[in-house]
């Protein structure tokens, strides 16, 4: 009799423990809004000995666990639907879980969103995640009274020496809210440096539109935008300094541009946003007076707004620093923490994994694009010469971030209009101050965007009279 009731008590205890484990387990997984709206109190979450970060981790995992049918993603700071972070769908997908294919929508090849690297970070979810304490770096400055993380600085210098794309010895470094802010700081620093006359900013056509937009919008009395440098090439008696933007690889056409202008009154801003093995061979390390990089096209984290500049001359460095301090008092410490974490992942294996992933992804995309347009007599692609890559130790075809498409037919004077009519979004040549016979298509967006682009191009090309048959 006794033995039977002990047995029942044991079974009851076992069942209760099972139910309790299930309840807490599911709640830990679901995070803040657990089963039946139940919430964790601060000391109830204890993941492998963690205390305060357990709930944050559960929340982050709960958002990340939303699959969104493989065509979107949910974020902790996004809209909430049914008590959970809602799916944010890729272009051409909709519905609460992004499973709805919007077959009549336009392929998005506009903008420079670098989501091609998103799958890499999903594969490295654990090593790249950051937990930010509520009291993380609340001060205006680090304890050494600067606004710049020494650890992040040394990681950046290490990364460049691993990749071999920049010599950083004997150069000052500054951080900016993306390279966008550093470009602005550089123009300020180089204007009125040695001359009492206003400076002229120039960039070879086709050029990234921001250079002109920024210079004109901020409308400094010290500098005005003057377009292509060609007309200054043989000018001997220019008043004021000339600031040349040199973009290598270039946005939009992927060419490894070099400075056109030289001389005592010429200052050069080297924009190296795309000088990474995803996009180009690295023939030699950049060793310039003023070089700007960005995390946007290195890791793909454009949203974090982080860029850095190497500067040889102390006065230029001081002037840029003054601009950055007066403008934003440095870069958000939260952003610096994030950048540091991402760089650590890259540096761990000397960049092998990320650059192989990036290069492979871009190569596959270029192969598909070339194959599609090889059927066409109407559209052609830019030609970029193969480069020796000291990083991969081979000569390789460049895989630029953008296709610079030319409409070859005499009557196709506005290429982007033709592409838009075929449900392809991109940017017209005139945005880059070139002929509208050209259009830029982004190849660094999500897999979905790229697949849709190829599908729209295939159907456009198949309608051509005399299109080549596969």
Q: By CB under 6 A, what part of segment 249-268 binds ligand PLP?
A: 251
Distances (CA, A) of 25 to 18, 55, 63, 261: 10, 12, 16, 65
In 3D space, the residue among 111, 67, 76, 117 whose CA is nearest the CA of residue 91 turns out to be 111
Nearer to ligand PLP, 316 or 339 (CB): 339
- Kindly determine how many residues on this chain lie close enough to bind ligand PLP according to the rule CB under 6 A: 13
In whole angstroms, the minimum distance from the beta carbon of 20 to ligand PLP comes to 49
Measured distance CA(452)–CA(446) in Å, rounded:
10
User: Which tokens in the block code for residue 363?
Assistant: 């190569």
Q: Is 247 in the site for ligand PLP (CB under 6 A)?
A: yes
Q: Is 294 in the site for ligand PLP (CB under 6 A)?
A: yes
Q: How many helices (H) and strands (E) does the chain have?
A: 12, 21
Instruction: Tell me how far apart the alpha carbons of residues 197 and 303 are, in angstroms, rounded to a whole number.
Output: 37
Q: In whole angstroms, how close is the CB of 111 to ligand PLP at the nearest point?
A: 8
Identify which range of 32-40, 79-87, 172-180, 218-226 contacts ligand PLP by CB under 6 A: 172-180
In angstroms, the CA 303 to CA 121 distance is: 14
Q: How far is the CB of 175 from ligand PLP (least distance, A)?
A: 11
Q: Using CB under 6 A, pick the residue from 53, 162, 180, 265 that binds ligand PLP.
A: 180
**For ligand PLP, which is the closer residue by CB, 212 or 296?**
296
- Judged by CB under 6 A, the residue of 31, 178, 277, 300 near ligand PLP is 178
Applying CB under 6 A, which part among 175-183, 392-400, 447-455, 459-467 lies near ligand PLP? 175-183
Gap between the Cα atoms of 440 and 427, Å rounded: 5
Query: Nearest 5°: phi and psi at 250?
Result: -80, 145
Nearer to ligand PLP, 85 or 277 (CB): 277
The reply on whether position 302 binds ligand PLP by CB under 6 A is: yes
Cα–Cα distances in Å, from 382 out to 369, 373, 398? Answer: 12, 12, 11
Here the tokens at position 374 are 């090889």
Angle at 443 between CA 437 and CA 447, to 5 degrees: 140
DSSP letters spanning 253-320: T------S--STTEEEEEE-TT-STTTS---S-B--SEEEEESTTTTS-GGG--EEEEES-HHHHHHH
The answer to whether the CB of 305 falls within 8 A of the CB of 177 is yes
What residue number has its CB nearest to ligand PLP?
Answer: 178
Of 55-63, 77-85, 158-166, 294-302, the segment contacting ligand PLP by CB under 6 A is 294-302
Nearer to ligand PLP, 93 or 276 (CB): 276
Residue 112 as a binder of ligand PLP (CB under 6 A): the answer is yes
Rounded least distance, CB 113 to ligand PLP, Å:
9
List the one residue from 116, 175, 208, 450 that touches ligand PLP (CB under 6 A). 208
If the CB atoms of residues 128 and 179 are measured against ligand PLP, the closer one turns out to be 179
Q: Residues interacting with ligand PLP, by CB under 6 A?
A: 112, 178-180, 208, 247, 251, 271, 273, 294, 296, 302, 307
């Amino acid at each position: 009799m006794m033995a039977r009731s002990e047995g029942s008590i044991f079974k009851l205890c076992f069942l209760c423990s099972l139910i309790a484990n299930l309840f807490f387990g599911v709640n830990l997984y679901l995070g803040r809004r657990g089963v039946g709206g139940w919430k964790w109190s601060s000391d109830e979450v204890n993941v492998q000995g963690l205390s305060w970060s357990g709930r944050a981790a559960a929340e982050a995992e709960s958002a990340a666990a939303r699959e969104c049918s493989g065509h979107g993603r949910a974020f902790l700071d996004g809209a909430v639907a049914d008590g959970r972070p809602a799916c944010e769908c890729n272009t051409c997908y909709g519905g609460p879980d992004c499973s709805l294919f919007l077959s009549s929508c336009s392929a998005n090849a506009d903008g420079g969103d670098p989501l091609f690297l998103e799958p890499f970070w999903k594969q490295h979810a654990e090593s790249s995640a950051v937990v930010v304490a509520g009291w993380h770096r609340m001060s205006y400055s680090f304890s050494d009274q600067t606004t710049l993380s020494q650890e992040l600085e040394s990681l950046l210098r290490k990364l460049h020496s691993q990749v071999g794309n920049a010599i950083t010895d004997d150069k000052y470094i500054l951080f900016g809210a993306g390279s966008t802010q550093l470009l602005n700081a550089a123009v300020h620093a180089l204007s009125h440096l040695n001359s009492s006359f206003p400076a002229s900013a120039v960039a070879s056509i086709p050029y990234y539109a921001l250079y002109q937009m920024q210079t004109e919008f901020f409308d400094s009395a010290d500098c005005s935008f003057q377009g292509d440098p060609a007309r200054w090439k043989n000018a001997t008696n220019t008043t004021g300094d000339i600031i040349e933007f040199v973009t290598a690889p270039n946005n939009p056409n992927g060419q490894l541009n070099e400075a056109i202008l030289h001389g005592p009154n010429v200052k050069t801003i080297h924009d190296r946003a795309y000088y990474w093995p995803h996009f180009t061979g690295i023939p030699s390390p950049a060793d310039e007076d003023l070089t700007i990089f960005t995390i946007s096209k290195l890791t793909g984290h454009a949203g974090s707004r982080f860029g850095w500049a190497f500067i040889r001359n102390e006065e230029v460095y001081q002037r840029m620093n003054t601009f950055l301090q007066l403008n934003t008092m440095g870069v958000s410490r939260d952003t610096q923490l994030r950048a540091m974490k991402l760089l650590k992942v890259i540096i761990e294996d000397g960049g092998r994994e990320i650059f192989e992933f990036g290069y492979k992804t871009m190569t596959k995309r270029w192969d598909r694009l070339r194959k599609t347009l090889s059927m066409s007599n109407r559209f052609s692609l830019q030609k970029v010469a193969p480069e020796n890559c000291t990083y991969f130790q081979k000569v390789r075809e460049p895989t630029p971030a953008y296709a610079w498409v030319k409409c070859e037919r005499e009557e196709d004077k506005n290429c982007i209009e033709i592409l838009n009519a075929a449900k392809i979004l991109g940017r017209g040549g005139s945005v880059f101050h070139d002929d509208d016979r050209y259009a830029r298509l982004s190849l660094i967006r999500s897999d979905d965007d790229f697949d849709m682009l190829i599908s729209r191009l295939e159907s456009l090309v198949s309608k051509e009279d005399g299109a080549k048959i596969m």
